[in-house]
A and B are shown apart, each in its own frame.
Chain A
Amino acid sequence: MKSHVWRPLVVVLAVIAVVLVARKFLVPADFGIGARGYMYGWHRAGNEQQWKEVKVKYKTAAFCKDCHRDKYDEIKESPHRNINCENCHGPALNHPDDPKSLTIDRSRELCARCHTRLPYPNSSRGAMKGIDPKSHNVGLDCVTCHWPHDPRKEGHKR
Chain B
Amino acid sequence: MISRRSFCKKSLLIAGGLAIPLSCLELFDPKRLLAEKDEKGPRWVFLVDTRKCVGCGFCVKGCKVENEVPYDANVTRTWVERYVVTKDGKTHIDSPKGARDGFPNKGIDIGHGKLEEIRDEDIEKAFFVPKLCNQCDNPPCVQVCPVGATYQTADGVVLVDRNWCIGCGYCIMGCPYGVRFFHPVFHVAEKCNFCYHRITKGMQTACVDSCAFGARRVGNLRDPEDPVTKIIMTERVNVLKEEYGTKPQVFYLGLSKEVK
Q: Which residues of B contact A50 (CB under 8 A)?
A: 161-163
Is the beta-carbon distance between B33 and A33 smaller than 8 angstroms? Answer: yes
> From residue A24, how far is it (CB to closest CB) to chain B in Å?
14
Q: Is the CB of B192 closer than 8 A to any CB of chain A?
A: no
B151 CB contact (under 8 Å) in A36, A54, A91: A36
Q: Is the CB of A51 closer than 8 A to any CB of chain B?
A: yes
Is the beta-carbon distance between B210 and A87 smaller than 8 angstroms? Answer: yes
> From residue A10, how far is it (CB to closest CB) to chain B in Å?
15
Whole-angstrom CA separation of A43 from B161 in the bound complex? 8
Is the beta-carbon distance between B196 and A51 smaller than 8 angstroms? Answer: yes
Q: Which residues of A contact B139 (CB under 8 A)?
A: 40
B52 CB contact (under 8 Å) in A31, A40, A41, A124: A124
Is the beta-carbon distance between B213 and A82 smaller than 8 angstroms? Answer: yes
Q: Is the CB of A55 closer than 8 A to any CB of chain B?
A: yes
Of the 9-residue stretches A66-74, A94-102, A107-115, A138-146, which lies at the interface with chain B?
Answer: A107-115
Interface of B is mostly: loop
Q: Which residues of B contact A125 (CB under 8 A)?
A: 53-55, 128
Q: Is the CB of A103 closer than 8 A to any CB of chain B?
A: no
Is the beta-carbon distance between A113 and B101 smaller than 8 angstroms? Answer: yes
Is the beta-carbon distance between A56 and B159 smaller than 8 angstroms? Answer: no
Residue of chain B at shortest CB distance from A116? B104
Q: Which residues of A contact B212 (CB under 8 A)?
A: 80, 82-84, 87, 114
Q: Is the CB of A35 closer than 8 A to any CB of chain B?
A: yes
Whole-angstrom CA separation of A81 from B23 in the bound complex? 62
What class of interface size applies to chain A in its complex with B?
A: 35 or more
Is the beta-carbon distance between B196 and A54 smaller than 8 angstroms? Answer: yes
Q: Which residues of A contact B68 (CB under 8 A)?
A: 54
Whole-angstrom CA separation of A18 from B54 in the bound complex? 60
Q: Which residues of B contact A82 (CB under 8 A)?
A: 212-214
Q: Which residues of A contact B143 (CB under 8 A)?
A: 39-40
Whole-angstrom CA separation of A54 from B255 in the bound complex? 33
Q: Which residues of A contact B214 (CB under 8 A)?
A: 82
Give me 12 A-to-B residue pairs in the complex whose CB atoms sit less than 8 angstroms apart, sorted by A's number.
A36-B37, A36-B154, A43-B164, A54-B197, A57-B206, A118-B103, A121-B123, A121-B126, A122-B51, A122-B127, A124-B52, A125-B55
Q: Which 9 A-B pairs have the closest CB atoms?
A: A43-B151, A35-B154, A113-B102, A120-B126, A54-B197, A42-B148, A125-B54, A113-B56, A82-B212
Interface residues in chain B, defined as those with a beta carbon under 8 Å from any beta carbon in chain A: 27-28, 32-33, 36-38, 50-58, 62, 65-68, 84, 101-104, 106, 120, 123, 125-128, 138-139, 142-143, 148-154, 159, 161-164, 193, 196-198, 200-201, 203-204, 206, 209-210, 212-214, 254, 256
